[in-house]
Amino acid sequence: MLRPCHNCLEGSTRLIIKHVRPDGRAKQVGIDVDACIAPIVKALNEGGIYTMASCCGHGKMPGSIILADGREIIIVKNRDERELVFSACKKEPE
Query: pLDDT at position 1, please?
Result: 40
Q: What is the pTM of this model?
A: 0.73
Q: Please, how many CA atoms are within 13 Å of residue 75, restricted to the half-sphere of its CB? A: 17
Q: What is the pLDDT along the chain (94 residues), one digit of tens a residue?
A: 444 455 566 677 788 877 777 677 777 888 888 888 989 999 998 898 988 889 988 878 889 999 988 999 999 888 888 888 888 777 666 6
Query: pLDDT at position 10, please?
Result: 65
Q: Please, how many CA atoms are within 13 Å of residue 36, restricted to the half-sphere of its CB? A: 18
